[in-house]
Amino acid sequence: MNAMRVNKSQCRGFSSSPSTLSSSLPWISPLHFSRVKLHKPDPPPETTGTQTQTRRKGKYISHESAINLIKRGRDPQHALEIFNMVSEQKGFNHNNATYGTILQKLAQSKKFKAIDAILHQMTYETCKFHEGIFLNLMRHFSKSSMHERVLEMFYAIQPIVQEKPSLKSISTCLNLLIEANQVDLAQQFLTHLKKNFNFKPNTCIVNILVKHHCKNGDLDSAFEVLKEMKRSKISYPNLITYSTLLGGLCESGRLAEAMELFEEMISKDQILPDALTYNILINGFCHGGKVNRARKILEFMKSNGCNPNVFNYTALMNGLCKEKRLKEAREVFHEMMSFGIKPDTVGYTGLINCCCRTGKVNEAIELLKEMKERECKADTVTFNVILGGLCREGRIEDALEMLEKLPYEGVYLNKASYRIVLNLLCQKGELKKATALLGLMMGRGFIPHYATSNELLVRISEAGMAEEACMALFGLMEMGFKPLPDSWAVLVESICRERKLLSAFELLDELVVVEQD
């Protein structure tokens, strides 16, 4: 550690304990740090008749302790202060782990100039670095849409790690560029690899390009890449290649071509499909309204020695439920369980949704109880499906009871949970219940949809419930809601009709404040 130290004038407020580090210092770029050793004061002179006063030695901070302190740093500046302070210890030199930790901390806070300074410092270190540090930085720069910096991090690997980048780093860099649709940079990257490393893309790398074309719906280009792969011995297509292409064809509704490609994969290239590949086809045919064909694919799968998993069965069940074929969906569900496959939340939710859509909410509730007995945790989607089913059957009281009790049972509900019931109450004209639900909803930190809030205010006002409308309005405004002018007009008119002029003036005052904001 040679070039990154804090001099004494920069270091005012430091102490020997990380817990007392100053957090009020301005941001100091590591580029400006200079190496100095902290001056140790001379020991106090001895005096007769008194004991010799000795300075208590501070506890030595190990690499592991330094990492924990940096991670717990209140902010990146504080973390950087800790990073530099521990390096002042005699015999301490930062290593790959401590550098990786401070870079992670700075990257999370988007302190990219400080990252550059740290990377510059790393070029002077003698410790062994690993490329994982740079893969992590690539991902952070990609998230910040700094795609050219992704390439810079890749190019920094060899001079600092002093080894050629691995296949993992190559595929990570290319994948990040492709995912961000930075095709020009990706092409520039591949050219660099070919020129400087005589790199010939293997199947793993070329599959990234296939995925890119399929994701963009450019299947013609994807199949051109496939042709090139078949001409190459290094990048011959594998199961991932074919699965990606099958997914692209299914999403485009080209199911016949998907089956042709599937047969070609097995017969010509002798590549056997796995459960994931079958799932792509099952989902594709279910979404395309060809559930019977999807069921035959599942049967073909079993007869060819590939055991279906929970995802395969769930995909088929969802397809049957979509067509309201509840009986057949149940048969598939029981078949899955007979093979010892434990149904998951998605599978149960699909079946529950089918019950609700076919007017069998009680059966859906029984399935919910069964989930609990089998220790399969229902999620928010599951409960929202049941709330929707109750509302469609007009069972408002049951729905309200669920909303009231579930949070006390440790169940998380979201904004949609309340909206489902609130919208129905508004449609049915159950305004007192709607107002009470609005209060419950806001008390739990949720606010209705903007349009629903305006509609509710207008309905309450027109029903002559001016006091309730005012209370609802003030509650909504406290949560940042700004009603439409028409909603204001209806509400003020309602209050005036009831001769509650004081409330009207209060509302007008609020209107002026809102408009000024």
Q: What is the pTM of this model?
A: 0.69
- pLDDT of 184 higher than 50: yes
pLDDT digits over 120-130, tens only? 999 999 899 99
Residue 9 pLDDT greater than 80, yes or no: no
> What does the pLDDT read at residue 4?
40
Separation between Cα atoms, residue 226 and residue 271, nearest integer Å: 15
Higher per-residue pLDDT: 472 or 397:
397
Long-range CB contacts (within 8 A, 24+) of 260-268: 265/239
What 3-state class would DSSP assign to 438?
A: helix
- What average pLDDT does the structure give for the chain? 82
Report pLDDT digits (tens) over 282-302: 999 999 999 999 999 999 999
Domain map of the chain by residue range?
A: 1-36+60-129, 450-517
Q: 229 or 497, which is more confident?
A: 229
Of how many residues is the chain composed? 517
Type and span of the H or E element at 380: helix 380-392
Burial 214-239, CB ≥16 within 10 A → b, else e? bbeeebeebbebbeebeeeeebebbe
pLDDT digits (tens, 9 = 90+) for 357-371: 888 999 999 999 999
Note the pLDDT of residue 495: 66
What is the pLDDT at residue 456? Answer: 78
